[in-house]
Structure 1
Amino acid sequence: MEIQLHDKRFVPFVSAEELEWAIARMAQQIANDMGSEIPVFIGVLNGSFMVVSDFMKHYKKNCEVSFIKMASYEGMETTHEVKQLIGLNQDLSGRTVIVIEDIVDTGNTIVELHQLFADKNLKALKYATLFLKPEAYKKDIKIDYIGIEIENKFIVGFGLDYDGLGRNLPEVYQLKG
């Protein structure tokens, strides 16, 4: 079923079941890698709130979770400038931090986050994303956990928006045409 958000039409792309499966698989991979360690998961708002929520339901070991708010999009275009709107205020020294993103495309937010955490004296910094656009991602920073690789198309739903609309959709849609 097609949907309309503002002036654009979108068609179904990834079902709620596929999203659930990808998130559960990522949670299991991370749990296996962490062993008995207690990681700090950092969700990148606004887009990751649904991913982090579902991820936490599948991560069966002890962990901590926090959020940071970054912004890099206006409408359907990346601004190529990442702004930190809400920051972290906890001591992460000696901890393994795993950043959870909804989507990684240009990687500008990843670079900004990498710089942000560079002086935090972390044990390790890892990145997890529900969606990766390998065609668009040309940065040298490794994405450690990937839910689903997709083509370089504009998508909405499950936390991802088009000018504020669509975040609440339980599945993901791609721009029609």
Structure 2
Amino acid sequence: MDSAIERVLLSEEEIGKRVKELAEEIRNDFPNGDLILIGVLKGSVIFVADLMRAMNINVTMDFMAVSSYGTSSETSGVVRILKDLDFDIEGKDVIIAEDIIDTGTTLKYLYEYLKARNPRSLKICCLLDKPARRKVDIEGDYVGFRIPDAFVVGYGLDFAEKYRNLPYIGVLKEDVYKK
């Protein structure tokens, strides 16, 4: 375990099992496939790759880069789109794949932005849901884990671009992110 990690919240095995279960839920809801899975960069990359591999249906992948944090640990509340979609989603079944729903500000903005493009359906799949920090009304349609209000890293989640490569999700020591 990395010395900056206070404790492991979710093991690599727990994450892998739940990602496969989420893929099965999605597959059951969209048995014909033909989905567009939109990952939110950078945090969702590992989650999107594992989820997509576990689906076993026809899935197109695209990514968006959206920022409201910068290098801070607190959202600015101002959402900026840094990279938009490469595909037209009008009339398509779309799932936004997000690593974590925290305040929900960024995801709510992104959801409304994509909804305006008239997809046939628009769902949200998140690996982690942290409801204690929610500032806007938004929920995931497919939720991996509900977690307590702790600063988590690993499995794609970062602090100042570090710790994304950890195979588990851990709670970051407070003295690391409050420096």
Q: TM-score, normalised by structure 2?
A: 0.90
AA paired with 1:167?
R
Q: Contact 2:115–2:122 at 8 Å: present in 1 too?
A: no
* Structure-1 separation of matches of 2:154 and 2:148: 16
Q: Contact 2:27–2:33 at 8 Å: present in 1 too?
A: no
* Structure-2 separation of matches of 1:92 and 1:159: 25
- Give runs of ≥4 in structure 1 deviating > 6 Å: none
Gaps of 5+ in 2: 175-179
In the TM superposition, residue 35 of structure 1 has moved relative to its aligned partner by 2.0
Q: Contact 1:136–1:152 at 8 Å: present in 2 too?
A: yes
Match of 2:129 in 1: 132
In the TM superposition, residue 163 of structure 1 has moved relative to its aligned partner by 0.5
Structure with greater strand share of residues: 1
Match of 2:88 in 1: 91
Given the alignment, which residue of 36, 40, 43 partners 1:40? Answer: 36
Structure with greater helix share of residues: 2
Q: TM-score, normalised by structure 1?
A: 0.91
Aligned pair 1:173/2:170, yes or no? yes
In the TM superposition, residue 111 of structure 1 has moved relative to its aligned partner by 1.3
In the TM superposition, residue 22 of structure 1 has moved relative to its aligned partner by 1.2
* Structure-2 separation of matches of 1:66 and 1:173: 27
Match of 1:24 in 2: 20
In the TM superposition, residue 79 of structure 1 has moved relative to its aligned partner by 1.9
Gaps of 5+ in 1: none
Q: Contact 1:3–1:11 at 8 Å: present in 2 too?
A: no
Report matched runs for 1:105-124 at 5 Å. 105-124=102-121
Q: Contact 1:70–1:82 at 8 Å: present in 2 too?
A: yes
- What SS does the aligned partner of 2:68 have? strand
RMSD, matched Cα:
1.5
Q: Contact 1:2–1:12 at 8 Å: present in 2 too?
A: no
> How many residues of Structure 1 are paired with residues of Structure 2 in the alignment?
173
* Structure-2 separation of matches of 1:23 and 1:82: 28
In the TM superposition, residue 138 of structure 1 has moved relative to its aligned partner by 4.5
* Structure-2 separation of matches of 1:175 and 1:99: 26
- What SS does the aligned partner of 1:143 have? coil
Match of 1:147 in 2: 144
Match of 1:50 in 2: 46
In the TM superposition, residue 156 of structure 1 has moved relative to its aligned partner by 0.5
